[in-house]
Chain A
Amino acid sequence: MPNQPIDQAKPFAITLDAGTSLLNKTGSWRTERPVYVDRLPPCNHACPAGENIQQWLSLAEEGNYQGAWQEIMAHNPLPAIMGRACYHPCEDACNRGQLDAPVGINSVERFLGDEALKRGWTVDVPGHTSGKKVLVIGAGPSGLSAAYHLTLLGHRVTISEAGPVAGGMMRFGIPKYRLPRDVVEAEVQRILDMGVILQLNAPVDDIPTVMAAGGYDAVFVAIGAHLANRVEIPAADATRILDAVSLLRQMETSDAPPMLGRKVLVYGGGNTAVDVARTAKRLGAEPVIVYRRSRAQMPAHDFEMDEAIEEGIVVNWLRTITGADDKSFQIEKMTLDADGKPQPTGEFETIEADCMVMALGQNVDTSILENLPGVEIDQRVVRVDANMMTGHKGVFAGGDMVPSERTITVAVGHGKKAARHIDAYLRGATYTKPAAHELASFDKLNTWYYTDADKTHRPILDLARRQSTFEEVLGGLDEDNALFEARRCLSCGNCFECDNCYGVCPDNAVTKLGPGQRFEFKYDFCKGCSLCATECPCGAIEMVAEEI
């Protein structure tokens, strides 16, 4: 160091200028780097209608109910119906279920759906039209959903419904104590008000002819599955044997309730069997469900079974009905083998009953498509490709008539999916679904940071009233508890700006970009300790190996 004049010398013992540690780029120590990611919340992943649930919960919890409703409507045109009749696989998947209880997504959806009906919210229809016409056959959830989405995409849609009223299984399958009819009417009307033409009592038998006559460019067939399965049981002529589909349909179309007598055997273990039993109870009968396997194998949803048993419905598990003589039914006890399959035991008993209702599943009336060239029908359901198109060009199909789980939510999802593919088909393009993010599974969360909040239970209609009337069983949430419920969401997989990464970094290597803009890593200084990733509550940071 050159000699300096005394008056410019540094203070005693100081030989270097003071510097800041910012000159020291500790980022070079790193072998892994943290990266902000967005992961797919399990609720969104599980939703058959493809709703962005986390997004609308987020809007709902700040009181922006119309925004939340619009977010639902981007995927599902029937929130008030879904908020009642959906079996909410989202809640089964909800990570919060592993903490205390799942977020009551279904009840918040219903609250939003009801708000929309109360306040008359509508969806804007685009001003431009494509000039294309699409025929939808069947006004059930799948057909209505397709019609709605096709209208939003600018196409002209006509629905041909064979029956006297729109709604499909939402009317003829789901009893009104679960889904009041004014709700169905209001949500269907909202779709029709967008310009969808509905033709009632208009069965279609020859698709090519109707297409040519009406000038349709594509067809979506969604006629559902409404033929009841039956088994042959030796019975006397006087024995009354009904099927579930006809019974539930008669409840809807006829003023006179079906004649059931006092004691009713319901044969089957699915949701329809439970619906029939609960309907019979409300008509004053004493229903007994007979099912050949045990409760664990019942396809009916657990909560429906619970509600049915609460209402006093008797279930005989591990029984088959082998014969009937007027009002006396022969029942064989069953046992489960090692594979869980029911096997006869040779032990019999007798039950006296006034009638029996078979609820053994439904099949599709495929006659409408049978003569159409190229259409494949396999095991009584219609084959469709990944684009929901049948083997016949321009003819698409969805809902209960194609291989899938038969729920109205799946049907609504099919309607949306088909609409997107039909739209692409009409434009001579193909629709490609955007790639999904990695799933935000429970192990990706750090749940320490969420405090306890119990699920808000919907008020349950007094038991005595449930057994004798068709009033709706589940009540709705009010604004206060809907808000609370929405706020229980954990935001799995998507940053909610909790500031944890910004706080826990020992190297101050995270920049907070400000409200709504999330954060950024300072890779010059990040040593790659992964504290931010470990302490991120919602699993929105991933550690990625550095190339060395």
Chain B
Amino acid sequence: MPHIPESEQRVKFYQTGTLTVGNRLLDLDQRTVQATQARTNSLDSGHRACQGCGEALGARYAIDAAMRATNNQLIAANATGCLEVFTTPYPETAWSMPWIHSLFGNASAVASGIAAALKAKGRQDVRVIAQGGDGGTTDIGMGCLSGTFDRNDDVLYICYNNQAYMNTGVQRSSATPGGARTATTMPLGENPGNAFNTGKSVPLIAMAHMIPYVATASVHDLHDLEHKVTKAMGFHGARYIEIFVPCPLGWGSMPGDTVKVARLAVESGMYPLIEAEDGELTGVSKIRRRVPVIDYLKLQRRFAHVLKPENEHELKALEAIAERNISRFDLLPPQATDA
């Protein structure tokens, strides 16, 4: 078969609009980085993440997009966590980009230091990213992160949120949702699983720092995720993106359902996708086909007890969270199709 350049690929089927990775209806420069043969694969094959790992997927999506946005002039500071453990069992690494390993809680401080060093050397072309999981971000790294935001250092911090400490054996973090089973919040007693009315929203905390850009994204919506990373790289100063990355091991979901679980989290209202600039909310992704919260829960063993009749109060509490997100961020389109 003769070689055909990617720009001349035949548009085959379903051109009235599609959400696939390579939407050929879009102009070349609007198509996703992940659809190109030239993507950098910053996080390459051979890493030791579990089957169907959402974090591995989210990290490649985000860093490949940032690499394109910066013309491959990128340095990452990585917090301890799953992402480091599965990518880099010494002396191998799956990262095909310059990166530095740091402690569990100081990735943002290390990144701030790199940004300061680059500034001192007059290197305006090289950009800095810090990345970590939710434990290293919302709990252990909170102080350093707040400092980076406070100083408005030129760092994009990406948090891969899988809602618990997965690398150490699925312990609760301050990003674990109410009702969820973890090793430290077992499904026992009258209120099984993680306590409700606890935890924190780092995106809203980041907005309160009035930093230039804050966004949440999900591995089920690649176009949106890449758009937000690319947009973030267009700003200078402190930026924060949180990516929703299901964890088949910690959540008890099927490896092949990772993208589906993320999609249902967003479509049920459990995880709102938002954007904010300078502390002001500037955009939300509307729900396309609303689904009941239970559709999202029943794919995950960590919520199995919530579906039992005696724990209906927990199901109601989770539904109330989805309702609150929907009204707070106005997530329903003008004519939403209720499931």
Contacts and interface: CB of A to CB of B under 8 A. Distances in A.
A29 interface: yes
B16 interface: yes
Interface string A497-535: 111101111111100101111000010110111110111
A489 interface: yes
Contacts of B141: none
A5 interface: no
Interface stretch (A291-299, A349-357, A369-377, A447-455): A447-455
B32 interface: yes
A20 B255 contact: no
Contact of B256 (A18, A488, A509, A533): A533
A285 B283 CA distance: 64
A531 B52 contact: yes
B6 interface: yes
A42 to B, nearest CB: 15
Interface in B83-97: 87, 90-94, 96
Contacts of A449: 18-20
Contact of A21 (B13, B23, B93): B93
A237 B128 CA distance: 101
A537 interface: yes
A469 B93 CA distance: 78
A538 B18 CA distance: 12
B37 A537 contact: no
B57 interface: yes
A429 interface: no
Contacts of A26: 45-48
Nearest to A511: B37
A293 B60 CA distance: 64
Contacts of A515: 4-6, 8-10
Interface in B30-54: 32, 34-35, 37, 41, 43-49, 51-54
B4 A525 contact: no
Given A21-B92, A499-B21, A58 B45 contact: no
B56 A507 contact: yes
A517 B90 CA distance: 38
A25 interface: yes
Contacts of A496: 12-14
A498 B20 contact: yes
A19 interface: yes
Interface stretch (B101-109, B258-266, B274-282): B258-266
Contacts of B23: 498
Contacts of B15: 61, 487
A503 B45 contact: no
A470 interface: no
B13 A448 contact: no
B22 interface: yes
Contact of A450 (B12, B18, B35, B51): B18
Nearest to B43: A508
Nearest to B256: A530
Given A497-B12, A499-B21, A531-B256, A516 B4 contact: yes
B3 interface: yes
B11 interface: yes
A62 interface: yes
Contacts of A506: 49, 52-54, 56-57, 60, 258
Of the four ranges (under 10, 10 to 19, 20 to 34, 35 or more), the interface on chain B belongs to 35 or more
B188 interface: no
B14 A489 contact: yes
Interface centre among A16, A453, A503, A535 (most CB of B within 10 A): A503
A25 B15 CA distance: 38
B111 to A, nearest CB: 22
A22 interface: yes
B18 A489 contact: no
A81 to B, nearest CB: 27
B44 A453 contact: no
Given A453-B16, A507-B56, A509-B45, A502 B21 contact: yes
B257 interface: yes
A315 B89 CA distance: 79
A191 B336 CA distance: 53
A22 B17 CA distance: 37
B22 A498 contact: yes
A20 B94 contact: yes
Nearest to B32: A503
B34 A21 contact: no
Interface in B56-77: 56-57, 60
A317 interface: no
Nearest to B95: A21
Interface in B220-271: 222, 248, 254-260, 263
A487 B222 contact: no
A528 B51 contact: yes
A334 interface: no
Contacts of B44: 20-22, 508
Given A24-B48, A504-B259, A531-B259, A514 B21 contact: no
B21 A451 contact: no
B1 interface: yes
Contacts of B248: 529
A490 interface: yes
A23 interface: yes
A22 B35 contact: no
Interface of A: 16-26, 29, 57-58, 61-62, 448-453, 484, 487-491, 496-500, 502-509, 512, 514-517, 522, 524-525, 527-531, 533-535, 537-538
Given A61-B11, A504-B259, 7 more contacts: A20-B44, A21-B92, A25-B46, A26-B46, A487-B16, A498-B18, A499-B34
The 3 A-B pairs of least Cβ separation, nearest first, read A499-B22, A503-B21, A21-B46
Interface of B: 1, 3-6, 8-23, 32, 34-35, 37, 41, 43-49, 51-54, 56-57, 60, 87, 90-94, 96, 222, 248, 254-260, 263
8 contacts: A497-B10, A507-B45, A508-B41, A509-B45, A514-B3, A527-B255, A529-B258, A530-B255
